[in-house]
Amino acid sequence: MSAAAADSIFSRIIRGEIPCQRIFENEHVLAFLDINPLSEGHTLVVPKRQCERLEDLPPEEAAAIARVLGPIARRVLVATAARDYNVLQNNGPTSGQEVPHVHFHIIPRRAGDGLGYRWKPKPADPAVLAELAQRINAAG
């Protein structure tokens, strides 16, 4: 881990150098309210280990996050009276990742909230999908 990576804002929050509104904490995971929320209750769930991309996070630590995402989301929904939510996780700047530390967003949603989130998928050629699946499987 580089010195720059150790200085991510999330690492500083985990170390207690920057205050946050903690929602959940255990040995591997910290969840806290986003200070620039997209909606009321927007929560960030982060591994305590500084790691920039999900595929680089040790599997046991990724599993620790997976175990708590649902229960945290349920608590956020109850507290905010929202019915639905998005779980969003970005890897790399092209995807929209702004902080170089793995993190999951739990974003409560309400009808008419104006947040949007509609992609425009295009049908794929089955032969192209089959060839791509072979390449992905061959990648290990």
State the CATH number of the domain containing residue 82: 3.30.428.10
Task: Tell me the mean pLDDT in the region 8-34.
Answer: 96
In-domain check, residue 137: no
Based on the structure, what is the number of domains in the chain? 1
The range of the structural domain enclosing residue 75 comes to 3-114
Catalytic residue numbers read 103
pLDDT band at 6 (very low <50, low <70, confident <90, very high): low
Rounded Cα distance, 95 and 97, in Å: 6
**Does 130 score more than 80 pLDDT?**
yes
* pLDDT, position 4: 43
